[in-house]
Each structure stands twice: as C-alpha cells, then as structure tokens.
Structure 1
Amino acid sequence: MRFAMNHIAAPKLSLEEFFAMARALGATEVEIRNDLPDVVGTRSPAEVKAAADAAGVTIISINALYPFNLWSGDLPDRALAMADYAAACGAKALVMCPLNDGRKVPHSQVVAALDALKPILKSRGLTGLVEPLGFPISSLRTKAEAIAAITETGDDGTFRLVHDTFHHHLAGETQFYPRRTGLVHISGVTDPTVSVAEMLDPHRVLVDGSDRLENVAQIRALLAGGYEGPFSFEPFAPEVHALPDPQSALADSMAGIRAQLEQPA
C-alpha cells in the first residue's frame, strides 16, 4: 500500500510546509482543500502548481465540490470554477460530496448532475471522485447507490468512487468496489462512548490500535480486491488539528497500520 496526505491532517501548516511534511513522510501524493484549510480560496492555482512542482508532489485531488448531486443555484458556476482551478494547478481530480442536510435527492437528479459534470471534467482531463457520506442525513449514503448512478451515465472512467473508511462503517456497507475506487480516505474513531449512529466528523482521529472502524480490515479487503491507489489520511478531529507535531503522529499511524497489515488476518 502507499499513503497520501490530505491537508486536513495538518491544517495549521502552510501549503509549502504541508507538501514538505508529506515528502518527509515518504508520500508524494497530496490532497488540497477549499475548506480546512481553504487553499483554493487563498492561493492562486499558479502558486499551488509551483509549490507542488518544487516539492515533488502530485496533487491527486481537490476537496470538495458540494453538494454535487443538487445541480441548481450556483453549483454549475462553482463546478466550472473549481474544475478550471484544478486543471491550472495540476490536480488530477475533484472530490464530489452529496447533499448532507436530511433532504432526499432522487436518483434521477444524481444522474442528471453527473451528466452535467461529465463534459466539464472530461474537457479538463479530470476525474470526478464521488464520495458517499454515510451519515443518516446524507442524500447518498452508499457506494452501491453511487455505482448505480455512475453506470447510468455511461461509465467511461470519468467518475470513480472514494472509499472513505469512516463513511463505509457508518453506512453499514459490506460491499467493496476496489476496481471502481479511485481514492481511499482513512481515519479512525477511538471514543468508546459514542454509538455508530452518533459518530460525526469531530470523532475522526488518526488510525491506531484502538480504532473502532476496522480500518485495517477494510484496507486488506481493498488491496485483496485489486485496489492500487493511495490511502489518504483525512482526520477531522480538532485534537488532531491542534497537534504540535503532526508529522510524528502521522508517522506513528502509518507504522501502526503497516504493522497490523503484516499480522495474519
């Protein structure tokens, strides 16, 4: 397996510091964001590309276009702007997250959104990474739903899945789609008091031996099924963001995951 780094793993670091940390950890693939931290809104794509080139890292995605499955209002304009930014900074893909406020979005609207996004992405050489959110209030909880919509659009490789170990667990999914997956996000939950139904982003820490989400089992299943892409750290917990030495914490998590993978299943 190989690890990648999402900037949310160390949001207090500048873009250049983040890229340097990734390289120091042996990772050459990174994800930048438009929220925490908001690189897209604060740095020009030319600056981002120059920083990535100087550090020797590949920007595998920008997180995230939201809500990709509600193609109305300002979303078309935002999608165009983000796709232009991604192409200009050298990013390979856009992560696309569904509406997550309790409202339902019919399957037909998901397909219509993908149909509208496809020419935008294809003309810029980008992949759309569809990330189901496993929360009970999510309008697209499972990868099976996402695969159905992608297939209906005519599956030509423009869209691939994000397998997020947190959301996979929350949705109660058992099915893996390793050959349809373009990116894996990893994070753990260690709080013993929170129920699965109550798990939220602030519970998401770095993966360690107390992980309740069965990250290692999920990683094993993906690798055994033929997944060959990166595993990118995406912790949302404030205590992780506040770490004075995120590099050491990430190194420990990487070593722990590798050690568990070497043990018999």
Structure 2
Amino acid sequence: MTFAINHICTPGLRLDGFFAMARRLGCDLVEIRNDIPDVIGSTSPQTVKAAAEAAGVTILSINALYPFNVPSDDLAARAMRMADYAKACGARALVMCPLNEGTPVPRADMVAALATLAPILRDRGLTGLVEPLGFPVSSLRRKADAIAAIEAADGADVFRLVHDTFHHHLAGEAEIFPDRTGLVHISGVVDPDVAVDDMRDGHRVLVDAGDRLGNLDQIRALREGGYEGPFSFEPFAQSFHDLSDPEAALRDSIAFIAAGLGRAKAAE
C-alpha cells in the first residue's frame, strides 16, 4: 500500500525539512496546508514547487477550502486563489471541508456550491476532494450525501471523496465508497475514556494497537473494494506534535499497519 504524509504531522518543520522526513519514511507523496501550518499564507507557490522537486516529492493536495458547501459572494474568488496556487505549486487537488459550526446547510446550497467550484477546478486540471466531517455539528457528515450532491451538480468527473477513518467512525456510516474515493486520511484515537460523540481533532494520534476507530478494518475494506490510492497520516493531537521524535513514531505506525494487514491476509 502507498502511504503519504500530511504536514499536520510536523507543523513545526519547514517545508524542506518536512519533505526530507517524508522521503526518509519511504514516502514521496505529501499534503500541504493553509492552516496548521499555513504554507499558502507564508510561502510562494514557486518556492513550494522548487522544494518539492528538489526533494523528489509530489504534492497530493492542499488542505483545505473551507467551507466549500455554502454559496457566497466570495466562494468563487477563494476557490480560484487556492486553485491558482495549487496549479502553480504542482499540487494535484484541493481538499474541501464543509461548514462545521452546528448550522445545517440545505442540499440545494451544497449542489449550487459544487456547481460553482467544478469549472474552476476543471480549468486548472485539479481534483476537488470532498471530505465529510463526522462531528455532530458538521453540515455534511456522510459520504453518501456528498455523492448525491456531486451527482446533482454533474461533477463526478472532477470531485472525489476523502475517506477519513476518524470522521467515518464518528459519522457511524457503515458503507464505504472505494470507487469514489480519491484520498484516505488515517489517524487513531487511543483515549479509552472519551465518548465517540465527544471525540475531537485533539484526540487524533497515530494508529497503533490501542486504536478505537477500526483503522485496520477500514483500510482493509477500502483495499478489498478496489481503492488503490494513498493513505495519508493526519494526526492533530498536541501530544503527538510534542513528541521529540515524531518521525520514529510515524515509522512505527507504518510498520504496525503493514504488519496488521499482513497478519489478516495470512489468516485468510
């Protein structure tokens, strides 16, 4: 399987250091961000592209256009700025997250927003990666609803799903959509006391033996369903960011996942 590294893993590392770490981990696919850290707001796309080429990495995505599902006067302008940056830095896609503030968004509004975004992405040769968020306050929790809106907006050629193992578990959505998935985000929750509805980004660490989200089962189901794309590590917890050697922890998690999938395969 193919692993990727999201910059949230080491937000304190400069781009060149982050890219170098990814390569040492055997990964040549990375994701950059516009929040933690804010690469877009601090670095020119030409500098990002040059650093990626020098390190031998490919930028899968910029994370994230937020909120993507609310039509507004500035939606197109925000999307064009991000899309122009993505094209200039060599990124393949934009991750798109829904409004996550406890306010419902009508399906018609999401369809209208997707219809606005589709030509912007098409014109620049980019993919829009729609990432449902499983939080109870999210305006788009389930992938099935995202697919329905994508179809209604006639956007199946340009929009794909992000299957996030954390958000999939929180949403309680049983069905997966390997054939509609363009990227998988993986993280684990090991806190034994937090209730599922109370899980937040601050609980997200790496996947290990204490994982409560069923990451190995989700990964296995996606692969058996035909998904052949990358699995990108996305831990948000401050406890992970404070580690003295996050690279070693990432290496251990990669080994744990590979071994777990291998044991399951051998038992078949």
In the alignment, which residue of structure 2 is the partner of 1:22?
Answer: 22
Distance 2:227 2:258 in 1: 16
Calculate the TM-score normalised by the size of structure 2. Answer: 0.97
In the alignment, which residue of structure 1 is the partner of 2:175?
Answer: 175
Matches within 5 A, 1:164-243: 164-243=164-243
Q: Which moved more, 1:187-196 or 1:74-83?
A: 74-83
**Which amino acid in the other structure matches residue 150 of structure 2?**
I
- 1:87 equivalent in alignment to 2:87: yes
Gap regions ≥5 residues in structure 1: none
Cα deviation per residue 1:192-245 (whole Å; 9 max; x = unaligned)? 000001000000001100000000000000000000100000000001111121
In the alignment, which residue of structure 2 is the partner of 1:163?
Answer: 163
Distance 1:133 1:167 in 2: 5
Matches within 5 A, 1:126-137: 126-137=126-137
Aligned-partner SS, 2:250 = helix
In the alignment, which residue of structure 2 is the partner of 1:258?
Answer: 258
In the alignment, which residue of structure 2 is the partner of 1:62?
Answer: 62
Asked if structure 1 preserves the Cα contact closer than 8 Å seen for 2:29 and 2:58, the reply is yes
In the alignment, which residue of structure 2 is the partner of 1:46?
Answer: 46
In the alignment, which residue of structure 2 is the partner of 1:249?
Answer: 249
**Which amino acid in the other structure matches residue 116 of structure 2?**
A
Shift of 1:156: 3.8
Distance 2:17 2:220 in 1: 31
Distance 1:86 1:206 in 2: 27
In the alignment, which residue of structure 2 is the partner of 1:142?
Answer: 142
- 1:37 equivalent in alignment to 2:37: yes
**Which amino acid in the other structure matches residue 210 of structure 1?**
G
Shift of 1:27: 0.4
Shift of 1:155: 3.9
Distance 1:16 1:91 in 2: 16
**Which amino acid in the other structure matches residue 131 of structure 1?**
E
Shift of 1:263: 1.3
Aligned-partner SS, 1:41 = coil
Shift of 1:75: 2.6
Shift of 1:128: 0.1
Distance 2:24 2:157 in 1: 32
**Which amino acid in the other structure matches residue 48 of structure 1?**
V
Distance 1:75 1:188 in 2: 32
Measured on the aligned residues, the alpha-carbon RMSD in Å equals: 0.8
**Which amino acid in the other structure matches residue 119 of structure 2?**
P
Q: Which moved more, 1:76-85 or 1:96-105?
A: 76-85
Asked if structure 1 preserves the Cα contact closer than 8 Å seen for 2:114 and 2:155, the reply is no
Report how many residues are paired: 265
Matches within 5 A, 1:72-83: 72-83=72-83
In the alignment, which residue of structure 2 is the partner of 1:112?
Answer: 112
Cα deviation per residue 1:27-78 (whole Å; 9 max; x = unaligned)? 0100000000111100000000000000000000000000000121433221
Aligned-partner SS, 1:63 = strand
In the alignment, which residue of structure 2 is the partner of 1:103?
Answer: 103
Distance 1:153 1:74 in 2: 19
Gap regions ≥5 residues in structure 2: none
Asked if structure 1 preserves the Cα contact closer than 8 Å seen for 2:190 and 2:205, the reply is yes
Percent of residue pairs bearing the same amino acid type: 68
**Which amino acid in the other structure matches residue 125 of structure 2?**
G
Distance 2:73 2:194 in 1: 36
Aligned-partner SS, 1:261 = helix
Distance 1:204 1:73 in 2: 34
Distance 2:196 2:180 in 1: 26
Aligned-partner SS, 1:40 = coil
Distance 2:113 2:217 in 1: 33
Distance 2:113 2:155 in 1: 14
